[in-house]
Amino acid sequence: MALSKLLYGLLGLAIIATIGYFVFKPSTAEQVKDLTAVVKKGQFEITVTATGELQAKKSVKIRAPQGMRTANIWETTITDLVPEGKLVTAGQYVATLDRTELATKMRDAQTEIDKAQTQLDQAKIDTAIDLRDIRDQLVNLNFTRKEKLLKVEQSKYEPQSVIQQTQLDLERTERDFSQLEVKYELKQQQAHAKILEITTLLKQHQDKMQKYVDLSNEFTINAPESGMVIYARTWNGKKEPGSRISTWDPIVAELPDLTDMITKTFVNEVDISKVKVGQEVTIKVDAFPEKEYAGNVLSVANIGEQLRGYDTKVFEVIVQLIGTDTILRPAMTTSNEIVTNVIPDVISVPLEALQLDSLAFVYKRAGGKIVRQEVIAGLSNANSVIIDYGLEENDEVFLNVPKGSDEAQWVFLPAEVKEEIARKQEEERKAREAHAMELKKKMQGVSQPSPDGGGGDFFIIVD
């Protein structure tokens, strides 16, 4: 019984505590504290950031042998490749390609050579036998012809019928001899043609074999010139030992020119309109975070693409590094901050302060009250927006919708002021376009990256 009373008592206390919480707890609106910011005046930077990868603007491609195509070898495997980053001199060993398919073709070619050689030897033997038989027949028939001639001379005093018979026998023998001579000549020509045909076929097989031998030697790949070996890259990574090489993508590795580097980056479609050729870029390399490099936008693609790892379409942007640094290597990851605009001495507020409805306004504290101040917004960056008119330095604006905002008075801008500011904004836009054209002209003398042979990069330059 005592235990039951205790349980009922605890239950009652829990109910009373719950009711007290809901009755006396502060409202949600009272819990939210208004956030404010002070309007600032000063230099305003608009930047676009993007991750990229270092590349050499120019490089010598180390390719698989061109003879693969003529040999009908469309793909093979890299069986060995020197370590990436190795310094090599011209003619020094770089890689070996798998010769399995080529070895099969060489065996087949050798079989055809042996077959043709056997046919040639047999044809020579058969020709020698056939011609010898005909020569023997000519010798025998020549003796017979002489005998017939002698009989004709001896029959001069014989009856006319005997003379005629011996004359006919002689003519028949001479005719047979002439026919046999013609047969011998034709047999020689026929044998010569057959031997020539087989010899030509043998030469074709031998030439094919020699091409295979030369190609086999070229499957050991040497450096065309001195430099640092950098593995070729494909859509699914680097080409390494075990990777496949094809006739349509024959690049095994590269010897980049490390004195002229670019960074290849991609900018999302939301920001690409801000990026122009010639704009300054601050580049940081992930491998050396303490270092900072300068560059300029060299080219901007005019066609977007959907790449893995990006939620939206992106546009390729090539940035030219200014100067060189011996520690930089192709394929290093870079962080690129493209300075698209720098505006001095302007009013700006955090993006959270700007309210967009049928017109742009901010919640401003004025004389102890909150007002809805109409403003004319200008350019923006990732954090702030320029206010071309409507606010002054040190004004206090709200970053959230403040309590009692429904009762806040409106402070509208005069129509003539809006028109004047719109005119100034248009002039500034044209000035920015003219400045962008000047920057682009300065970059016209800078060489573009060389196309990557065999399925490599293709750069589309904005006119």
Over residues 41-55, the pLDDT tens digits come to 999 999 999 999 999
User: Sorting pLDDT into bands at 50, 70 and 90, what band is 450?
Assistant: low
pLDDT at 16 over 60: no
pLDDT at 413: 94
Which pTM value belongs to this model?
Answer: 0.63
pLDDT at 28: 42
pLDDT at 463 over 60: no
The answer to whether residues 374 and 411 touch, using CB atoms and an 8 Å cutoff, is: yes
The pLDDT of 148-153, averaged and rounded, is 78
pLDDT, one tens digit per residue, over 356-377 is 988 999 999 998 899 999 999 9
pLDDT at 3: 35
Q: Bigger pLDDT: 148 or 272?
A: 272
Q: Bigger pLDDT: 226 or 451?
A: 226
pLDDT at 274 over 80: yes
The pLDDT of 160-179, averaged and rounded, is 81
pLDDT at 306: 86
pLDDT, one tens digit per residue, over 225-243 is 999 999 998 877 889 999 9
Query: What's the first-to-final CA gap in the chain, in angstroms?
Result: 94
Q: Bigger pLDDT: 143 or 343?
A: 343
User: Sorting pLDDT into bands at 50, 70 and 90, what band is 1?
Assistant: very low
Phi, psi of 333 (to 5 degrees): -80, 135
The pLDDT of 90-115, averaged and rounded, is 96
Q: Bigger pLDDT: 30 or 241?
A: 241
Distance CA 139, CA 364 (A): 131
The answer to whether residues 275 and 341 touch, using CB atoms and an 8 Å cutoff, is: no
The pLDDT of 419-424, averaged and rounded, is 92
Least confident range of 247-256, 339-348, 398-407, 435-444: 435-444
In the chain, % of residues over pLDDT 70: 90
User: Sorting pLDDT into bands at 50, 70 and 90, what band is 11?
Assistant: very low
pLDDT at 93: 97
Distance CA 280, CA 323 (A): 14
User: Sorting pLDDT into bands at 50, 70 and 90, what band is 21?
Assistant: very low
pLDDT at 406: 84
Helix (H) or strand (E) segment spanning residue 366: strand 360-366
User: Which CATH code is given to the segment(s) 30-57+258-463?
Assistant: 2.40.30.170
pLDDT at 451: 58
pLDDT at 171 over 90: no
pLDDT at 29 over 90: no
Mean pLDDT over each residue of the chain, to the nearest integer: 86
